[in-house]
Amino acid sequence: MSDAIFIVPSDNKPGRDNVTTTGSLRAEDKTDVTGELETASDPHLYVPDRPPLPIVTSRQLEYPSEHLPSKQAWLDTMATLEDEKLGIVDLHPKIFGTYPRIDILHNNVDWQRKYRFIDYSFARSRAEMPGGGKSPTHRKRLVELGRVVSGHLYIIKVEKHLTKRVHGLCCALSAKYAQNKLIIVDSLEIPKADHQFLEDLIDVRFWGFSTLFVDDSDIMPRNFSLAVNQIPHFNAMPVYGLNVYSMLKHETLVLTLAAVEKIESKLLQILYSAQKEDVKFEYNE
Amino acid sequence: MAQAGKFADKALQLLRTYPRVALNNLKDMPGAYKKNFNKRRNAGKGKTHGRGHKGMGQRMTLPPLGYEGGQIPFHIRIPCEPYYKDHEFKRQYPPFSLLQVQRLIDMGLVDLNEPIDLLTFCNTAHYDCSIEDNHYGVNLTEEGADTFQAQINIEVQHASEEVIAAVERNGGVITTRYYDPECVKAMSNVLKFLKTSTPIPKCKLPPQDAFEYYSNAKNRGYLADPEEIVQARIELAQKYGYELPEISDKSQKELLLRRKDPRQIFYGLEPGWVISLKDQCVLKPLAEEHQKYYAS
């Protein structure tokens, strides 16, 4: 990683929080770095202050199923380096326990990849230009047998199929949950704006090489934003940006409890509504 | 769509031992895409590949399916047999069973304190009615008649004798009622209709071939004589062997006696009124000419 520069809001002076604006934070000498950065003894730091564990033992589900037991997951915290379980939360079985259809995941990833090839550029043809009209007759044969006349033109069909998209999200979440790659945390608050702390945390907990953090809104905690900004393979995303491609691309998916609430309520609303057939949209190029 | 259960759990359990589901190990179902192959060269067998020698068969230039030779054209040679003549003009009544009605009630999608009509069915989104397909309303069918238990004031477009008996056995009231396509359109998607800010249409009377059905007391037609309907209710009860329950509750009695005017399509709203969703108000026609037109 090159020398990175933090993007700090104008009202916050760079020196106030001991956040260095220049210079490599990945210095070999770790003691030097910690000397510059905030330490846990600072009074204005986030200090976990909470009742005895476990704090959470269950979660109220919308549309509870009579026949399907709810899935359960640990509620972790990022306030400490070592893993600490705050409790256990219930997850809806129709979202976190659906049949993992690999073909549906493939369909969704394929759909997302196709968006790269859409070309919205437009040029008027001779017929659409002002002045003269369209040529009255074709001067040439339209199709010459045995070879492609216009090689550069091809059509991409991109369907916006709501059912498949919802199914894809459920499958991806279920696969992540089944493979123990889904982590639920109370919030993304970390004690210091240090990328090294975040890397250590992920190393200690075996979260893998790449991690996707999802929060319910796009304004994330300051310390976390500054730390995650430094590492290209750890990414943060709001709930409205959650997609199948990113979930499968990253090794571990870390959801906040607020994000879980939002994802579940949105997906269940679609799953349980008596809506009519999907409307298909097509983008042709 | 999304399936969860013991088979899903088994699959997910299996997934725990597999490599991580990632972008590199996704694939479609086998057979999702049809593979084209060259029928002349690759179809197996040697020499001619089963296509024989010479001619249209070998060169794949056989006439298209349905091609007929001969001198006299098809439409002259074969006499006309118009089995389905005018099928596109026939009125369609998409069926909806008593079992489905009971299900809607049990799920809480239908309010029993209000009369049930075509609008109620369409608002639940469990029933689809479109004038593009010549739909004229609900045909209430007998399925679930034995288990039907609700006491309702229901208005449908077509009902058999058994259905009428099933509803009246529970102390309910059933009416068959005609709506013209314009009214069906307004009722099938009421929000869309209200957004157009057009006057509520005045319902037309049934066409000639449907008039007899809707003026017959046996069908509980809305144009039938009310006294005849009372008589027909008693006759039907004797035929099917049940007693018409007496209703003592005053509010329930009021509910069961609620009927629409033959020209009216929404309860509480009269034809000719314009409902403005933006201003949250009802505009009523004042001109004498309009009032005369919309009067029943």
pLDDT, tens digit, 9 for 90 and up, residues B228-249 = 999 999 999 999 999 999 999 9
Q: What does the block give as tokens for B160?
A: 């058999």
Q: What is the pTM of this model?
A: 0.67
Q: What is the largest CA-CA distance in chain B?
A: 91
Using CA atoms of A258, A260, A263, A265 in order, give the dihedral in degrees to the nearest 10: -80
Read off the pLDDT of residues A52-106 as tens digits, 9 standing for 90 and up: 777 888 888 999 988 899 999 999 999 999 888 999 999 999 999 999 999 999 9
> Does any CB of chain A come closer than 8 Å to the CB of residue B24?
no
Counted across chains A and B, CB pairs separated by less than 8 A come out at 86
Read off the pLDDT of residues A206-230 as tens digits, 9 standing for 90 and up: 999 999 999 999 999 999 999 999 9
pLDDT at residue A21 above 90?
no
Closest Cα to residue A274, out of B125, B96, B190, B100? B125
**Amino acid in the structure at residue A54:** P
Burial environment of residue A159 by CB neighbours within 10 A (0 to 12, 13 to 18, 19 or more): middle
Enclosing H/E stretch for B167: helix B161-169
Residues of A in contact with B11 (CB under 8 A): 99-100
Q: What is the pLDDT of residue A32?
A: 41
Mean of pLDDT over chain B: 92
pLDDT at residue B151 above 80?
yes
Q: Do A178 and B29 touch (CB under 8 A)?
A: no
Q: What does the block give as tokens for A15?
A: 């020196």
Beta bridge partners of A106: none
pLDDT at residue A157 above 90?
no
> Which H, E and C letters describe chain A, residue by residue?
CCCCCCCCCCCCCCCCCCCCCCCCCCCCCHHHHHHHCCCCCCCCCCCCCCCCCCCECCCCCCCCCCCCCCEEEEEECCCCCCCCCCEEEEECHHHHCECCCHHHHHHHHHHHHHHHHCCCCCCCCCCCCCCCCCCCCCCCCCCCCCCCCCCCCCCCCEECCHHHHHHHHHHHHHHHHHCCCEEEECCCCCCCCCHHHHHHHHHHCCCCCCEEEEECCCCCCHHHHHHHCCCCCEEEEEHHHCCHHHHHHCCEEEEEHHHHHHHHHHHHHHHCCCCCCCCCCEECC
CA B57 centroid distance within chain: 49
| Inter-residue contact B136 to B181 (CB < 8 Å) | yes
Residues of A in contact with B125 (CB under 8 A): 273-276
* Bridge-based pairing state of the strands A282-283 and A158-159: antiparallel
Out of A109, A178, A273, name the one closest to residue B15 (CB). Answer: A178
- For residue A54, is the peptide bond before it cis, meaning its omega torsion is within 30 degrees of 0? yes
Nearest-CA distance A106 → chain B (Å): 5
Residues of A in contact with B12 (CB under 8 A): 97, 99-100, 174-175, 177-178
Nearest-CA distance B14 → chain A (Å): 9
Q: Do B15 and A175 touch (CB under 8 A)?
A: yes
Closest Cα to residue B261, out of B251, B269, B250? B269
> Which residue of chain A is at minimal alpha-carbon distance from B18?
A179
Out of B27, B125, B128, name the one closest to residue A102 (CB). Answer: B27
pLDDT band for position A275 (50/70/90)?
A: low
- Characterize A131-151 residue by residue with b for buried, 16 or more Cβ atoms within 10 angstroms of its Cβ, and e for exposed: eeeeeeeeeeeeeeeeeeeee
Nearest-CA distance A163 → chain B (Å): 8
Q: What does the block give as tokens for B235?
A: 């006759």
pLDDT at residue A38 above 80?
no
Residue A65 sits at the vertex; the CA angle it makes with A64 and A71, to the nearest 5 degrees, is 80
Residue B12 sits at the vertex; the CA angle it makes with B9 and B17, to the nearest 5 degrees, is 135
Q: Do A97 and B1 touch (CB under 8 A)?
A: no
| Inter-residue contact B127 to B138 (CB < 8 Å) | yes
Q: Phi and psi dihedrals of B15, rounded to 5?
A: -65, -25
pLDDT at residue A9 above 50?
no
Q: What does the block give as tokens for B232?
A: 């027909």
| Inter-residue contact B129 to B94 (CB < 8 Å) | yes
Q: Do B125 and A94 touch (CB under 8 A)?
A: no
**Amino acid in the structure at residue A131:** G
Read off the pLDDT of residues B251-283 as tens digits, 9 standing for 90 and up: 999 999 999 999 999 999 999 999 999 999 999
Q: Can you tell me whether residue B68 is helix, strand or coil? A: coil
pLDDT band for position A158 (50/70/90)?
A: low
Optimal mutation site among A94, A211, A270, interface B, most CBs of chain B within 10 A: A94
ipTM surpasses cut 0.85: no
Instruction: Kindly report the number of other CB atoms within 10 A of residue A225's CB atom.
Output: 15
The region of weakest confidence among A54-58, A193-197, B8-12 is: A54-58
Nearest-CA distance A221 → chain B (Å): 29
Name B62's Cβ contacts closer than 8 Å, sequence gap at least 6. Answer: B56
> What one-character-per-residue DSSP string does B84-117 give?
TTTGGGS-B--EEEHHHHHHHHHTT-S-TTS-B-
Q: What is the pLDDT of residue A16?
A: 32
User: What is the spatial distance between Cα A91 and Cα A137, in angstroms, rounded to a whole number?
Assistant: 65
Nearest-CA distance B258 → chain A (Å): 29
Closest Cα to residue B137, out of B103, B172, B182, B106? B182
pLDDT band for position A8 (50/70/90)?
A: very low
Residues of B in contact with A248 (CB under 8 A): 21-23, 26
Q: Do B22 and A248 touch (CB under 8 A)?
A: yes
Name B79's Cβ contacts closer than 8 Å, sequence gap at least 6. Answer: none
User: What is the spatial distance between Cα A283 and Cα B6, in angstroms, rounded to a whole number?
Assistant: 39
Q: What is the pLDDT of residue B209?
A: 93
Out of B3, B26, B29, name the one closest to residue A99 (CB). Answer: B3
Name A254's Cβ contacts closer than 8 Å, sequence gap at least 6. Answer: A183, A184, A185, A188, A207, A211, A212, A213, A214
Q: What does the block give as tokens for A213?
A: 């953090």
Q: What is the pLDDT of residue A235?
A: 95
> Does any CB of chain A come closer than 8 Å to the CB of residue B45?
no
pLDDT band for position A244 (50/70/90)?
A: very high
pLDDT band for position B49 (50/70/90)?
A: confident
Out of B9, B18, B26, name the one closest to residue A106 (CB). Answer: B26
Round to the nearest angstrom and report the end-to-end CA distance of chain A: 39
| Inter-residue contact A247 to A211 (CB < 8 Å) | no
> Which residue of chain B is at minimal alpha-carbon distance from A248?
B22
> Does any CB of chain A come closer than 8 Å to the CB of residue B23?
yes
> Does any CB of chain A come closer than 8 Å to the CB of residue B26?
yes
Q: Can you tell me whether residue B249 is helix, strand or coil? A: coil
Could you tell me which residues of chain A have a Cβ less than 8 Å from any Cβ in chain B?
A: 65, 67-68, 93-95, 97-100, 102-103, 105-107, 109, 163, 166-167, 170, 172, 174-181, 245, 248-249, 251, 271, 273-276
| Inter-residue contact A22 to A3 (CB < 8 Å) | yes
| Inter-residue contact B121 to B96 (CB < 8 Å) | yes
Residues of B in contact with A109 (CB under 8 A): 23, 26
> Which residue of chain A is at minimal alpha-carbon distance from B104?
A274
| Inter-residue contact B184 to B137 (CB < 8 Å) | yes
Q: What does the block give as tokens for B124?
A: 């639940």
Mean pLDDT within B109-119: 94
Q: What is the pLDDT of residue A13?
A: 36
> Does any CB of chain A come closer than 8 Å to the CB of residue B60?
no
Q: What is the pLDDT of residue B218?
A: 96
Optimal mutation site among A174, A212, A271, A273, interface B, most CBs of chain B within 10 A: A174
Positive or negative, the CA dihedral A164, A166, A169, A172 is negative
Out of B2, B27, B125, name the one closest to residue A275 (CB). Answer: B125
Q: What percent of chain A has pLDDT over 70?
A: 69
